Structure 1
Amino acid sequence: MKRVAILDDYLRLALKMADWSALDGLCRLDAIDHSLQTVDEAAEALAPYHVLCHLRERMPMPRALIERLPNLQCMIITGKSHRTLDTAAATEQGIVLSHVTPAGPGNGATAEIAWGLILSAARHIPLEDGHMHRGGWQHTAGMMLEGRTLGLLGLGRIGQRMARIGQAFGMRVIAWSANLTAEAAAAHGVQRVEKEELFRQADVVSIHLVLSERTHHLVGRAELALMKPEAILVNTSRGPIVDEAALVDALARRQIGGAGLDVYDVEPLPDRHPLRELDNAVLTPHLGYATRETLPAFYASMAAGVLAYLKGQPIGVSNPETLASPRQKLA
């Protein structure tokens, strides 16, 4: 019988939030509720499994790991891409990559967590909350958003939602991306500016871009140096879009006002990471899509993907040449 693992089920909700009963009798299903931190640890834990279910890009799958999983035949991936998975290595090994699309809420979850981080950083909510719980009172004076400038790196679906909310706060909204035109921005009541000017003008910079070679470390020391001393940087997209070392340095030196981060270079964030020591960094553990509304859709799409593969009709296959590979004939 095939063995199937659901990866990174930190909240232990995967088996509760979706109906997996269609798989009864077809496979043995396990949920792994912790992060596998090293290649050695992951190789040992995952060696027995034929199918791995990935929740977005939580767990990296480098070549060094893929080549140590002799039983692996298929990976179910929620979403159209998995940028920390070595697709060439998987294809060489004959492993089917099946991408499933959750049928659930749109982009509201990410925009909401971004605004939570903006408000938390602007009004120092976590810091003051900590003081209150320890018996203290007021320690800071926060920044109002009304009349301030919101700078959006990216004006796609999430960026557009961010713009509408910013406008509701009474903010001026500017935006930049490599392909954004002035006309497209104006259609959403947004002014298109050059990247450097966005960092100079914005009181809040919020990132809503896809991680790629072009956007890797798009925000570095030069961009941070352009920001106002009280400005806030928010990242709910992907960690490596920001040069993390440069950001830590800017925050430690109080070069900028603060940061709100939901994504990091390494996830989960290491226990002794310097970001954890900074009181002007508001940190959340990649909660962007982890809501009671979105997770059931993700897990339901996983279940459907596993069932389709076990029935010999995998869906959303990005490397169809693997369907006839010798590995697919493993028991």
Structure 2
Amino acid sequence: MKIAVLDDWAGAAREAADWSSLCAEVTVFRDPIPAADLVTVLAPFTVLCVMRERMPLSAALLNALPALRLVVTTGARNLAIDLAAAEARGIVVCGTQSRKTTTAELTLALILAQNRALGVNAAHLATGGFQAALGRDMAGLRIGLLASGRLGGRWRVWRRPLAPRSRPGRRT
């Protein structure tokens, strides 16, 4: 069995799983494969492991990969995979479990980084400087929440220590 792990930009795939237990040849592609080379490069693989929507798997590409039998995507769904084409070819498509906190955590980190001017100050420190901009306290501020689904619910809990004056919005 030949497995291709595509678009592993962070170089985390080798440590994320015990690949040796699969008795397979695993090739990890950190950089995107040029579109003109996709069929040639991916043709020998029976399994593609894709990272969310980084690599579109169109009907044309799936049909051009005769050895392909399985596509595994990070997360429960991937809108970049033509599921009808995969089903028509008998290619199994499945996803991994995903933690439900990552997007809310990233949102929190970005809000804190913006308010504390972390990007500007980190760049300045990297060039030998010191503090270049002042941060802003969040105490007493309000945070507007535009989404209130599954992820928004997690965010509502986390924002309380930062902005206790936040008010829940109305559902429409």
Query: Quick check: TM above 0.5?
Result: yes
In 1, Cα distance between equivalents of 2:115 and 2:2: 48
Structure 1 position 56 matched with structure 2 position 52: yes
1:111 corresponds to which of 94, 99, 104: 104
| DSSP-derived class of the 2:93 partner | strand
**C-alpha displacement at 1:118, in angstroms?**
0.6
Q: Aligned residue pairs: how many?
A: 172
In 1, Cα distance between equivalents of 2:101 and 2:77: 20
Question: Retained in 1: the 8 A contact 2:143–2:163?
Answer: no
In 2, Cα distance between equivalents of 1:193 and 1:145: 26
1:129 corresponds to which of 88, 113, 122: 122
Question: Retained in 2: the 8 A contact 1:173–1:191?
Answer: no
In 1, Cα distance between equivalents of 2:96 and 2:121: 42
What amino acid is aligned across from residue 81 of structure 1 in structure 2? R
Question: Retained in 2: the 8 A contact 1:9–1:31?
Answer: yes
**C-alpha displacement at 1:139, in angstroms?**
4.3
In 2, Cα distance between equivalents of 1:133 and 1:30: 35
What amino acid is aligned across from residue 89 of structure 1 in structure 2? A
What amino acid is aligned across from residue 33 of structure 1 in structure 2? R
Q: How do residues 136-151 of structure 1 correspond to structure 2 at under 5 angstroms?
A: 136-151=129-144
What is the match of residue 80 of structure 1?
A: 76
What is the match of residue 18 of structure 1?
A: 17
Are the structure 2 counterparts of residues 80 and 120 from structure 1 closer, same or farther at C-alpha, using a change threshold of 3 Å?
A: same
- The C-alpha deviation readout for 1:197-249, integer Å capped at 9, x for no partner, is xxxxxxxxxxxxxxxxxxxxxxxxxxxxxxxxxxxxxxxxxxxxxxxxxxxxx
Are the structure 2 counterparts of residues 42 and 138 from structure 1 closer, same or farther at C-alpha, using a change threshold of 3 Å?
A: same
**C-alpha displacement at 1:158, in angstroms?**
2.5
2:35 corresponds to which of 39, 46, 50: 39
**C-alpha displacement at 1:141, in angstroms?**
4.1
- The C-alpha deviation readout for 1:112-144, integer Å capped at 9, x for no partner, is 222111111122211122223334455444433
Instruction: Structure 2: state its 5+ residue gaps.
Output: none
**C-alpha displacement at 1:163, in angstroms?**
1.3
- The C-alpha deviation readout for 1:32-64, integer Å capped at 9, x for no partner, is 22222x432322221111111123333221233
Instruction: Structure 1: state its 5+ residue gaps.
Output: 175-189, 195-331
1:30 corresponds to which of 23, 27, 30: 27
**C-alpha displacement at 1:88, in angstroms?**
2.0
What amino acid is aligned across from residue 70 of structure 2 in structure 1? C
- The C-alpha deviation readout for 1:62-120, integer Å capped at 9, x for no partner, is 23322322221221223321111111222233322133436xxx333332222111111
What is the match of residue 148 of structure 2?
A: 155
Structure 1 position 95 matched with structure 2 position 94: no
| DSSP-derived class of the 2:73 partner | strand
| DSSP-derived class of the 2:80 partner | coil
| DSSP-derived class of the 2:84 partner | helix
What is the match of residue 169 of structure 2?
A: 191
What amino acid is aligned across from residue 158 of structure 1 in structure 2? L
Structure 1 position 167 matched with structure 2 position 160: yes
TM-score, with length taken from structure 1: 0.46
What amino acid is aligned across from residue 35 of structure 1 in structure 2? P
TM-score, with length taken from structure 2: 0.82
In 2, Cα distance between equivalents of 1:168 and 1:20: 41
In 2, Cα distance between equivalents of 1:112 and 1:166: 11
